[in-house]
Amino acid sequence: MWNQTLAYFCSFYSFLYHVFVPCPLPELLPANTVNRQQYLGKWYFQAAVSHREAHIEGFRALDSNWFTMEETDKDTLLLTGHMRMGQNCINQTWTYHIHPDRDDLELEGRAQRRSLLWSGKWANCPDCIILQEIEPPLNEMGSEDSLGRHMLYTRQKKVDPKVVTTFLKNAACHTMSASVQLPQEKAGNAFQVQCPVSAL
């Protein structure tokens, strides 16, 4: 009886808390108007969140992951990823197109995917960036996106743990309770030397 009463109280308290202290919302960086130059260069993957474990489980096999973002044309960005999986180094490239009438990035070869950029302020990190990937339901009758995740990137390999904690906390407030952080046990300088840039 006591446990049930306590559970009801906690649920009611949580409800009231969210009524009076709403979840913080991330700030969109519209791809068609944002100053892209400030986001070029090197980025380190720190964590990913989602409503569903299946949308982030692919990251669990990785030890570490870093990227370089270049502008190859006026409206084209090239993202090159360097991923450490066990003793193996995997390199991959993605091409994104920017359209004047869209606030998201179009991933080449994945026209159905929306890639949105969000300010790192949601993680209390002005120098960070958050990438959201969304894909619609697999069929017209579906009500749930077939892909939905947010990924946190930082300019430095090592960041204040509070940055990731804040990111996870704000995501959980929006019911994104599935999360993954990379161990980064093999993310030293040798990793960057041993991972030459080449697309798979």
User: pTM (2 decimals)?
Assistant: 0.82
Determine whether 52 is exposed, middle or buried from the number of CB atoms within 10 Å of its CB (0-12, 13-18, 19+). middle
Task: Tell me whether residue 124 is in a domain.
Answer: yes
The enclosing domain of 88 has a CATH number of 2.40.128.20
- 128 DSSP assignment: -
Interstrand relation of 129-135 and 41-50 (parallel, antiparallel or unpaired): unpaired
pLDDT per residue as tens, the chain (200 positions)? 444 443 444 344 444 444 445 899 999 999 999 998 999 999 999 999 999 999 999 999 999 999 999 999 889 999 999 999 988 999 999 999 999 999 999 999 999 999 999 999 999 999 999 999 999 887 777 667 889 999 999 999 989 999 999 999 999 999 999 999 998 887 655 445 456 544 33
Task: Evaluate whether residue 8 is within a structural domain.
Answer: no
Q: Assess if residue 131 is contained within a domain.
A: yes
* Domain contains 72: yes
Count of domains in the chain?
1
Q: Which residue in 197, 188, 191, 172 sits closest to 49, CA to CA?
A: 172
Residue 1 in any domain: the answer is no
3-class SS at 187? coil
Domain presence at residue 35 = yes
Q: Which of 149-186 are b and which e, b meaning 16 or more Cβ less than 10 Å from the residue's Cβ?
A: bbbbbbeebebeeebbebbbebbebeebebbbbbebee
Considering the domain boundaries, does residue 103 fall inside one?
yes
- Domain extent for 168: 27-136+144-192
CA angle in degrees (0–180, nearest 5) for 176-178-184: 120
Tell me if 151 is assigned to some domain. yes
